[in-house]
């Protein structure tokens, strides 16, 4: 069992940090407005306004920021404000024991997938795959914002066709720990100390601006690494920029031969809504009924 971080209460202070690409500062107010609506206080990381080429500050500055937020007892959660690229450069420098000793909510997606994988394996902690407080300069849609409530009250998530149209690729029922996220970032962990462990997992996959041949190549790499065969089931999220028919053809090619439950059409990823999920908790994927049930992510 993974460690579940403590739930939030109104009035708590949370950390807001940039660990990947730099943030356009004009987008910051709309992100902070959401935290205020949630009844939270916030502390900004030191690299929020930093620009170091394509990164939000140097590796050392971003790492110091993360460690400071982890060590601060007053900070109850850490929200990443931007994806892009950069967290992978920090993975071998993060103090995972510090995080295990100070477990707290970590929320983000896209490039943050790299952090989710590492924290899941080396701090044994449940983390949250969810939108970056806003989508660029636009507020979050109502459903995406509602998903933040899972951080305040332990609740099971029940995802069915009431949220989006789902398509069963392979039928059956699978039960296992939920893991995954951005396909590109999952593949980038292969042959490293932080190689993603998909053994007995229900795997979430999403991505953006990847061509069909790139998606095919990444799934093939996971196949050759014998990762796909280890999983118990697959939750196919949004692949922004790819035609649905093209995506499903590729998914069918790689996942149908495994004869494990696969359902596509989940609004998870670079889309609206973007449903926030806890990673590292038990889930049941019922591909026959087109339902994903997930246990609470907080205590």
Active site residue 136: no
Coil vs helix vs strand at 38: coil
Which of 135, 145, 177, 206 is catalytic? The answer is 206
CA distance 14 to 16: 7
> Per the residue annotation, which of 110, 134, 144, 188 is the catalytic one?
110
67 catalytically annotated: no
Could you give the CA distance from residue 155 to residue 8 in angstroms, rounded to a whole number?
13
Q: Of the listed 114, 116, 177, 270, which one is catalytic?
A: 270
Cβ–Cβ < 8 Å for 177, 200: yes
**252: its two tokens:** 């069918």
| 169: nearest Cα among 282, 277, 269, 250 | 250
Is 110 tagged catalytic?
Answer: yes
Peptide bond just before 273 cis, omega within 30 deg: yes
CA dihedral 292, 295, 297, 299 (to 10 degrees): 160
Of the candidates 148, 131, 143, 105, the residue with the CA atom closest to the CA atom of residue 298: 105
Q: How far apart are CA 111 and CA 88, in angstroms?
A: 8
Tokens of 2: 């993974």
Active-site positions read 110, 206, 270
């Amino acid at each position: 069992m993974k460690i579940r971080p403590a739930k939030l209460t109104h009035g708590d202070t949370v950390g807001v940090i940039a660990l990947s690409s730099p943030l356009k500062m004009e987008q910051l107010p709309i992100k902070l407005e959401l935290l205020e609506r949630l009844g939270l206080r916030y502390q900004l990381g030191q690299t929020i306004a930093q620009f170091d080429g394509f990164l939000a500050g140097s590796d050392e500055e971003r790492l110091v920021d993360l460690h400071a937020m982890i060590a601060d007892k007053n900070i109850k959660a850490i929200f990443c404000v931007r994806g892009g690229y950069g967290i992978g450069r920090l993975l071998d420098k993060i103090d995972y024991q510090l995080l295990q000793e100070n477990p707290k909510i970590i929320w983000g997606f896209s490039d943050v997938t790299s952090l989710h994988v590492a924290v899941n394996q080396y701090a044994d902690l449940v983390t949250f795959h969810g939108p970056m407080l806003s989508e660029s300069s636009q507020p979050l849609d109502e459903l995406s914002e509602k998903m933040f409530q899972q951080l305040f009250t332990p609740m099971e998530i029940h995802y069915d066709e009431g949220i989006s149209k789902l398509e069963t690729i392979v039928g059956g029922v699978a039960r296992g720990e939920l893991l995954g996220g951005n396909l590109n970032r999952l593949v980038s962990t292969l042959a490293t100390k932080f190689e993603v462990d998909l053994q007995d997992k229900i795997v979430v996959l999403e991505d953006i601006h990847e061509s069909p041949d790139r998606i095919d190549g990444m799934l093939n790499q996971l196949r050759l690494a014998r990762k796909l065969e280890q999983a118990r089931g697959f939750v196919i999220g949004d692949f922004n920029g790819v035609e649905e028919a093209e995506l499903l053809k590729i998914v069918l090619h790689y996942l149908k031969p495994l004869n494990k439950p696969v359902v596509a059409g989940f609004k998870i990823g670079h889309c609206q809504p973007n449903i926030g999920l806890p990673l590292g908790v038990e889930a049941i994927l019922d591909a026959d009924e087109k339902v994903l049930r997930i246990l609470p992510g907080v205590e």
